[in-house]
Amino acid sequence: MGMLNRFFLRAVHFATWRRSEEQGYGRLREEMESHLAEQTEENIRAGMIPELARREARLKFGAMEAVRESYHAEKGLPFLESLLTDIRYSLRVLRKSPAFTVVALITLMLGIGANVVVFGVLNAVLLHPLEVSEPESLYQLRHTAWMKGRLLTTSYPAFEDFRRRNTTFAGMAGINGYSHAQLNWRNAVMNVSGDEVTGNYFDLLGVQPEVGRLFHAADEHGPDSAPYVVLSDGLWRSVFHADPGVAGTMVELGKQPYTVVGVAAAEFHGTERFGWPDYWIPMVNEEQMSGADYLHSRASIAVTVIGRLRPGVTPQQATDNLNTISAELAKEYPETDDGQALRLIHPGLLGDDGDVIRGFLLSVTVLALLVLAAACANLASLFAARAADRGREMALRVALGSSRRRLVRQLLTEAVLVSLAGGAAGLVGAYLLLGALNRWDSPYGHLEVSVDARVYLAGLALTLGSALLFGMVPARQVWGSSPLQMMKSGAFGQLDAMHLRRFALRDVLLGVQIAICTLLVTASLVAVRGMLRELHAPMGFRPQGAMLVNMDLDGDLDGDLNDELVVEKEKAILEAAGSIPGVTAVGAVSRTPMTGGMHGVPIFRPGTTEFKIDNSVLAPYVFPMSPGYLEAAGTRLLRGRDVSWHDTANAPDVAVVNETFARKMWGKDAPGGMAAEMAAIGQRFIVAGRLTEVVGVVEDGKYHDMQESSQAVVYLPLTQSEQGEMVFVVRSLRTPREMAAILQRTLSGIAPNVPITVQSWSDSLQGELFPARAAAVALGVMGLLAAMLAVTGIFGMAAYSVSRRMKELGIRVALGARRMHVMSAAVGRPMVLLGVGSVVGLLSGGFASRLLGQIVYQANPLDPVVVGGVVLTMALLGVVAAAIPARRALGVDPSRLMRED
């Protein structure tokens, strides 16, 4: 109770101290003066003269300011009052140095803002859980290497076996995320994409509708069940104008009627963070929309499998259980099920692409922290120089009774105020930039980046951490300084040592800053070099000047046709496109490179009788194609011939393979000196149970992504393959916009009821080239920030050195020193530190090659072009930063300095 009373009295005194200060301190001053008078009289009686007696009395009494502070501390809330005093003092000091304050604020704003932006994206992609119930227990099944990068896991029949036989999952659901259709509703016609899912999908995820209801397992009875569709919140708002009565509305997807049963919640976007679906339909209704029949085929790998673990089951136990089932299926269905080992990952990052995305974001985060570290080193150097200039002021305050603890606290308060202001500005800038990212539809799809509590806490932590990092340097100087030395030199210790043989703390800070900046400049040039290398990498095809046409011919012919009729229709389309003026080549292929393809088709040697996966020799990509596709794609035919329309179902089966396929199949068996592509012509292999002869060999290329190693590829004649979706490639001399309009008009006359999508091949590759461009932009911005920090740091030290040594430089000039010697004395130290820091930064870039490899395609920090660019950049930055201080030093007038002195 007594403690509460004392606290209350102190709080009252604190609240009213302004009104009572004059009265209270008046009495205190009277008491102190009375005590001093008594002590003075006593000293006079002891024989001292009055002046000496008064001086000795004051020395014995001590610092009156300290007594005053002690008296006030007993009456009020000393901590809070001291804090307010320190804040007011710091604001006055910062207001007296506006240039310094502005530079510090901008430096921190850029450093903290960049880190908050990077952390905001990192938080949205890696840290923020999916908007589903208990996301930590949700897993996705993945196959091993040959399925790398693809979301698809297994066939629908195999999925049913896994769901029925497993004992470790509380539930499993299947997804086909490659559903596309044309939506027709009233006057709205647009191309949309969505997910085909099993009936228990929404129940497994535990999500709730925003409008209407979601479909459930009870709604899934077979292909003839009611075709339901659940709309996404985005599609509902953009097309249906957020109509709350949308449930029960009939819409057309791919010319098939569907009943809208509800709208998914606004925060739910499926199980992937990128590529949000526009709709969800039951998987059993997919046959009605496309006419495909993958639900009954064990050879059709079209399902992504997700599952929720039972309570108490570990991922390893579930993996072992699934691998046991996979081995059983391989024995039961040896021709279709390969028994490959399975593993579990959390969904959300495009399957195995999550490893790439995770490495990219974490590496960028490290580089962003280096930007902030360089900013803190820069500010620490500026604060140290500023504290050195205030050395005599600090010495006087210590002599008057102020404690070193108080001075340190005030310096740290000043650093925290600067950091809080810079952090607030950086957070505002980051908030605006993250909002722009929310509105941006990237080639990877949409991503929701919200500024939540984690982002605010990260910004606060970065702000306070920055204040601690650069505020401790002047605080350390004050704590270990000598008042007498400060009075003599006006500086702290050896802080301003100017000889090139001796390095002070500020020198070390500048060297560290330049090393970090050099590393960041290296990273930015590596990113630009990697982007240029990727743009000019040999891809095995030439997308420039080619257009891609997607048409759903099955929908036009109602699905009641044989392969011969489909081929005739495709021939008519190719002839019509080839007759357009300016077209130089046309062809068709099942999937263009970088957009998927049948990967993992087992290849067997001639004479094989048991077509088990274990007996296969290769598992390449397989692309059915028409004659003329290789020319339209710009893929070079190295040996042999292209496929032709004479390669019909009644003719011997033939194929065109790439160099890697030929080398892996027959490279070792080729006669001495003969190239593998020459030895491949006339060779045979078995694919899909059919003996096939190689009639041509084409160049290698890229088929899934730019980073992949050489992959084996087989091109089969369109006329000898099962018919499915085809992409028409049209190469012309016209502009893409002009060609797109002509193709729309021409092909609409051949298939008037078929949705036609036309785009340039280069545009279709934007998603694949996006990581390289994003890396170049992100690291380029960091390199620019680093360059600004390097200029600021070098300029600050050079300007400070010149201002402190003006008299010395004037004497040198008066004694006839050469311009080169004056330059060396003025800016030699910053230039030496620039050279040393740049060398250290370049060496650090070599050690950081693995880190940069997570961000940049074929990153090589030791590339001569990169090294030369870094050396030239840092040299130019040094010249720019030191130009003004050097000019000031060379323009010194000794006579004027002497007059001023």
Question: What DSSP assignment string belongs to 646-668?
Answer: T--TTSPPEEEEEHHHHHHHHTT
Which positions ≥6 away from 50 have C-beta within 8 Å? Answer: 40, 44
Give yes or no for residue 550 having a pLDDT over 80: yes
| pLDDT reported for residue 492 | 42
Give yes or no for residue 482 having a pLDDT over 70: no
| pLDDT reported for residue 275 | 78
Residue 228: which of 202, 262, 254, 276 has the closest Cα?
262
Question: How far is the C-alpha of 750 from the C-alpha of 54, rounded, in Å?
Answer: 114
| pLDDT reported for residue 47 | 79
Question: How far is the C-alpha of 116 from the C-alpha of 561, rounded, in Å?
Answer: 58
| pLDDT reported for residue 90 | 78
Could you report the per-residue pLDDT of 725-765, keeping only the tens digit for each? 789 999 999 999 999 999 988 988 887 777 788 999 988 88
Between 233 and 47, residue with greater pLDDT: 233
Cβ-contact 793, 464 below 8 angstroms: no
| pLDDT reported for residue 318 | 95
Which positions ≥6 away from 572 have C-beta within 8 Å? Answer: 750
Cβ count within 10 A of residue 858 = 14
Name which of 530-534, 620-624, 839-843, 878-882 the model is least confident about.
Answer: 530-534
DSSP run (H or E) holding 510: helix 505-535
Question: How far is the C-alpha of 427 from the C-alpha of 407, rounded, in Å?
Answer: 30
Taken as a whole, the chain contains a residue count of 901
Query: Tokens 């991503």 map to which residue?
Result: 447
Name which of 39-48, 281-290, 685-694 the model is least confident about.
Answer: 281-290
Q: For residue 669, give the amino acid letter.
A: D
pLDDT category at 437 given cuts 50, 70, 90 is confident
Q: What is the DSSP letter of 130?
A: P
Give yes or no for residue 146 having a pLDDT over 50: no
Cβ count within 10 A of residue 78 = 15
Give yes or no for residue 149 having a pLDDT over 50: no
Mean pLDDT of 108-122: 90
Give yes or no for residue 268 having a pLDDT over 90: yes
pLDDT category at 604 given cuts 50, 70, 90 is very high
- Maximum average pLDDT range among 41-55, 213-227, 301-315, 446-460: 301-315
| pLDDT reported for residue 392 | 64
DSSP-assigned letters across all residues of 318-377: HHHHHHHHHHHHHHH-TTT------EEE-SSSSTTHHHHHHHHHHHHHHHHHHHHHHHHH
Give yes or no for residue 497 having a pLDDT over 60: no
pLDDT above 70 as % of the chain? 81
| pLDDT reported for residue 771 | 77
| pLDDT reported for residue 147 | 45
Q: Torsion angle of alpha carbons 59, 60, 65, 69, nearest 10°?
A: 160
Give yes or no for residue 19 having a pLDDT over 80: no
- Six token digits for residue 460: 């606060």
Mean pLDDT of 87-115: 84
Mean pLDDT of 585-600: 80
Between 100 and 596, residue with greater pLDDT: 100
Could you report the per-residue pLDDT of 353-386, keeping only the tens digit for each? 777 788 888 889 999 999 999 888 888 877 777 7
Could you report the per-residue pLDDT of 169-210, keeping only the tens digit for each? 999 999 988 788 888 888 778 888 899 999 999 999 999 999
pLDDT category at 712 given cuts 50, 70, 90 is very high
Mean pLDDT of 560-586: 84
Mean pLDDT of 458-479: 80
| pLDDT reported for residue 79 | 58
Give yes or no for residue 485 having a pLDDT over 80: no
Give yes or no for residue 491 having a pLDDT over 50: no
Cβ-contact 289, 256 below 8 angstroms: yes
Could you report the per-residue pLDDT of 319-341, keeping only the tens digit for each? 999 999 999 998 888 777 877 88
Between 551 and 562, residue with greater pLDDT: 551
| pLDDT reported for residue 674 | 60
Mean pLDDT of 311-317: 95
Give yes or no for residue 54 having a pLDDT over 70: yes
| pLDDT reported for residue 494 | 41
pLDDT category at 523 given cuts 50, 70, 90 is very high
| pLDDT reported for residue 292 | 53
pLDDT category at 557 given cuts 50, 70, 90 is very low
Give yes or no for residue 599 having a pLDDT over 50: yes
Residue 108: which of 466, 465, 473 has the closest Cα?
466
Q: Report the DSSP beta bridge partners of residue 308.
A: 138, 171
Distance, C-alpha 500 to centroid of its chain: 42
Q: For residue 115, give the amino acid letter.
A: N
pLDDT category at 63 given cuts 50, 70, 90 is low
| pLDDT reported for residue 840 | 94
Q: Mean pLDDT for the chain?
A: 81
| pLDDT reported for residue 495 | 40
pLDDT category at 159 given cuts 50, 70, 90 is very high
